[in-house]
Every structure is written in C-alpha cells, then in structure tokens.
Amino acid sequence: GAVVSQHPSRVICKSGTSVKIECRSLDFQATTMFWYRQFPKQSLMLMATSNEGSKATYEQGVEKDKFLINHASLTLSTLTVTSAHPEDSSFYICSARDQWQHSYNEQFFGPGTRLTVL
Amino acid sequence: AQSVTQPDIHITVSEGASLELRCNYSYGATPYLFWYVQSPGQGLQLLLKYFSGDTLVQGIKGFEAEFKRSQSSFNLRKPSVHWSDAAEYFCAVGARNTGNQFYFGTGTSLTVIP
C-alpha cells in the first residue's frame, strides 16, 4: 500500500514551453501533497505544499506564477512549470500524506520526474 | 528552527564491513525521524522511521537506527554492507504539528568497494 506515482518520469522540452507533471496516490487518499526539487548531488528542497481543494502554500523564494500547483482531487496533484528555462532543469519529486495517518505525519514519495529544458 | 545535519558528505566502506551514517537534528520537541535511500535517478525509498517507543528501530535491507534524545541523533547502522547498498542516504525530520513539513539533511553518498 501507500504507492505514489509520477508522470512522466522524464521530460525534455524547449525553452519557453510549459510542462505538466502529475503526482498520484494510487491506493490511498492524500489530503496533502508536497512538491520537492532536487539539484544534482543535493538534498530535496520543499517547493510547495498542496492541499486538496485549496491553494498551494509556496516556500519562500519559489515563484508561484512559474510553478503552478493544482490539487483537484484526493489522489491527484499537478505541477506545471510555465515558460520553462534551462535553469528549471531538475529532478522534481512529489510526496503524499495519508489522511488516515494524521498523527504520524508520514509522507510517501513518488519516483521523481527528470525535467530537462533545452 | 528545525534542521537536520548529516556531517558526512561521502563515505566509502568495504563490502562486508559495518556502516554508520550520522544524523543530528534540531527540533523543539520529539520529532518524527526517517531515513531514506535514493539510487541514482530514482525516488526515495523509506528505510525506517521512528515515531515513538523503542528507540532502536529496525528497517528494511538489514538497516537499523537508534534515536538518542540526549544527543539529538538518529544514526543509521548496518552490520555488513553489500555492494547494492551504494546509494545516497537522507535523514529527515518530520514535524509533529499541523505543518507536516519534512526537513531533509544534505545526504550522505555511500560508496562500497569490493
């Protein structure tokens, strides 16, 4: 149980285009999903917290208009990188929190999406 | 402020040798603690977690970790390392409040030599 998927696993796009990344909780309902960014050889940096049915909360320094997050259902959150540029190239990882494990705050991580902007 | 420190950026061990990866945290109360492993180009796999109770927790792949409140540490150990253990290891602290935020350490890269 507690499986999180991401799609696509890899994407290459041209500079100036937009890319959408999906994060799905496959066998549980996730009221909260998190989006992280990871640069090569570095740790995960939290970008935003996505709550189902409400606006995402962005970390300081993360551009809301560039990284659009939508959490329309209890099993799906999307991250759209708008007008992508080469500096947006990174590994994006989502995680989801099972609402039935509220007291334990455990997050389940997706396999990540490698974005390359040419 | 909450933070996680992994003092060792890179560790090299021989196959069959024991392993200890260090993790120190700063948190105002008893945290939730996690260890994750990440292979190149892959997502995170949970090795083990501590929420409460017994301070020595067992995880997958023969790993264990011990929570030491007095030292604010949660070190990961394995008695005999296998070549397949080569990967990046991340320690994380989860907040017990409604923020639910995870704080990750900078990671320790493990190389296993034959």
Q: What is the pLDDT of residues A34-71, one digit of tens each?
A: 999 998 878 889 999 988 888 899 999 999 999 999 98
Q: Is B65 exposed, middle or buried (0-12, 13-18, 19+ CB in 10 A)?
A: buried
How distant, in Å, are the alpha carbons of A19, B68, B103 from that of B21?
37, 14, 17
Helix (H) or strand (E) holding A93: strand A90-98
Of the pLDDT bands very low, low, confident and very high (cuts 50, 70, 90), residue A1 is: low
Whether residues A95 and B107 touch (CB distance < 8 A) is answered with: no
The residue among B33, B37, B95, B105 whose CA lies nearest residue B68 is: B33
pLDDT in tens, chain B (114 residues): 678 999 999 999 999 999 999 999 988 777 889 999 998 878 889 999 998 889 999 999 999 999 999 999 999 999 999 999 999 999 998 876 645 678 899 999 999 999
CA dihedral A2, B76, A34, B26 (to 10 degrees): 140
Return the residue in B44, B48, B51, B109 with the most chain A beta carbons within 10 A, the one to mutate for interface testing. B44
Kindly determine whether residue A42 and residue B49, on different chains, have CB atoms separated by under 8 Å.
Answer: no
Closest chain A C-alpha to B77 CA, distance in angstroms: 20
pLDDT at A39: 86
Q: Are A19 and A81 in contact (CB under 8 A)?
A: yes
Q: Please give the radius of gyration of chain A, using alpha carbons only, rounded to the nearest integer.
A: 14
Most A-contacting residue of B2, B89, B101 (CB-CB within 10 A), to test interface: B101
